[in-house]
Every structure is written in structure tokens, then in C-alpha cells.
A = this chain, B = another copy of it.
Amino acid sequence: MNDTRERVVVTEVGLRDGLQSIARIMSTDDKRRWIDAAYAAGVRHMEVASFVPAKLLPQMADAAAVVAHARSYDDLSVTALVPNLKGAQHALDAGVERIVAPISVSVAHSVANVRKTPAEMIDAFAAMRELIDRATSAGGRRVELIAGLSTVFGCTLQGAVPYADIAAIARAAVQAGADVIALGDTTGEATPRQVGKVIELVRDVAGDTLRSLHFHDTRGLGLANTLVALQHGIREFDASLAGLGGCPHAPGATGNVNTEDLVFMLDSMGYDTGIDITRLLASRAVLAQALPGEPLYGYLARAGLPKQFAHGQPAVRESAEPSESLRYSHSSAPQVPQ
């Protein structure tokens, strides 16, 4: 292992974003098994549930029980998605370490998703901040509050999102007390140059509070977009095992960036994710067993690791001289112009 490798945090969000985007319901026991397998592979950041009414999202009815299981691992950072104050209270009661509130920069999407305008959602976010601060003052431990800006790179309802709207919402979220700004390509419309521009834009108003990116791989650009974000200094990414997700009402939709493929890319580039790619690939078995027939995506799972790939090693061989076979061939082939 090379201890000088730079750390990149990969947060497994399949238990939340993946499962809430498919029609089927995974049992609580299977969710526990998934958490166990991910933890065994080295995953230390998971978004495991959303605290929403069970009648709206029956997939998340067991949120408290799932959080409780995840919390049994001392060094696992446990995140939940929360759309309102009531959900935030439930998440705090359950013992999460991080709360993500979805704040859409598209009015149309915001109203459709959380029945609030972006500004109303900022109000709710400020109220969550107060709730968390009161809990901390009362002796609770510090809980991080994340503004999950959604539809940042485009909206299926609204189309393109003006830069000024993104900046306005990011600024309002920081002023309302966000510990972290996360940018979400909710509908999988982000493209590489745009990603760089939006990161610069949001960093101008949010500074280092901008920390995390959430890409979907709807148009095959998930990893290219991740690469641009890395080049712009982002070191935290959401991803979903087997690219679980899509949308029960849209057959063509695809889920989050695939965790295994993301970890492979990061590994190959010399970043330290702390995740064992072989064990991570093996953990797909939990999904295959728990959700028979559900499509599991992933390039690496299909193609396997390249022969040359050794965990933590660069995928190249550097040497001063060509291989002996090439040297021999060249010296025996004087007809080749030198």
C-alpha cells in the first residue's frame, strides 16, 4: 500500500437512492446484509434510508431499523435523506451522523418532489439547522447538515437551469447553515464542461462548503463527469452498487454511478478509497439474492478486472529499456530504418 495516496470518499447511496427508485421493496434483513457486505468491502460512508411517510415510499418504512443496524459499526458514517422537519427529528432520534435535505434548484422539480418551492425548502432547511443545533446544545453529538442541491445540471420538467438560480440557492443554503453543499445531477443530464463551470460557480458562493457530487449515469457520462469534478478538487462522490436505481415509471432511466466502476477508476488513478474492489464486486451477490430479476448494471462486473490490474498499483509498467523480446527483434531486423 502506498500511504501517500490521496483519499477519495465514496458514499454508497444504493440503499436510499437505488432502492427508492425501483418498484420492489427490499426486506430489512436484506438491507442489513447489504450494509454488512459493503462494510466488509471497506465502505465507510453509506446513505442508508430516507425518513419520509411510509405511505409515500414504502421502500423506506424501516428507515429507523436500518439506521440502527448501520450504527452498530462504530466507524461507519451513516447518512439519511430528510425532506422536512419531522423527518429530521426522526433521523436524529434514529442516530444518524449526516442529514441530507434535497433542495431543488428547479421550481417545477421542487414542487413535484417535496411539494415546496426552493425558497420554502430553504426555510425548512433553516429550521432543520435550528433543530440540529438545539439537539447538540442539549448534549447530542454533532450531526452534519448537507444541502443536497438537486437538478443542478438540468431538469426533465424545466429544462436547463439558469446559473443565477444555482448560485442563488447555493448562497441561501450556506446562509441557512449548510455544513456541506452537495450537487446532484438528479436526472442524469450533466456534461463534462458544464460540471466544471457549475463547480466553479458554486465554489464562488459556497467556498469549501461545496464538497460532494452526486451523478447519475443516464447518458454514459457519469465517470467522465466524475473525472472533471476530481480535476476541480472534489473528493466525495455518491454511487450505487450495481448502478441500482432507474425509475419504476421510466424504463429507460438509469441509476446512480456504479460504485464498482467508480472505485475501479479511482483506484486506477491512484486514489485511496479504502474499498477492496474484489470484495465490493462480491457484494453484488446480496442484491442478486435479495432482488432476483432486478437488472444489475456494471462494466467491471461483466468484464472483470484487467490482468494488469493490481490493487493500489498503477496500471502501467515503467522501465528504462524496452523488453528483451523487442530489443532482440529490433537488433535482428536491420532493414527497419533506425
Contacts and interface: CB of A to CB of B under 8 A. Distances in A.
Interface string A300-323: 101110111100001111111111
A319 B162 contact: yes
Nearest to A264: B219
Given A107-B325, A299-B254, A306-B154, A160 B315 contact: yes
Interface in A46-73: none
Contact of A332 (B119, B161, B163, B172): B119
Contacts of A167: 322
Interface size band for A: 35 or more
A140 interface: no
A333 interface: yes
Given A160-B317, A164-B323, A189-B306, 14 more contacts: A119-B326, A123-B333, A163-B317, A189-B309, A191-B269, A191-B315, A194-B268, A198-B316, A219-B300, A220-B223, A220-B258, A220-B298, A223-B223, A254-B299
Interface of A: 107, 117-120, 122-123, 126, 153-156, 159-165, 167-169, 172, 175-177, 187-189, 191-194, 197-198, 217-221, 223-224, 226-228, 252-254, 258, 261, 264-265, 268-270, 298-300, 302-304, 306-309, 314-323, 325-326, 329-330, 332-333, 335-338
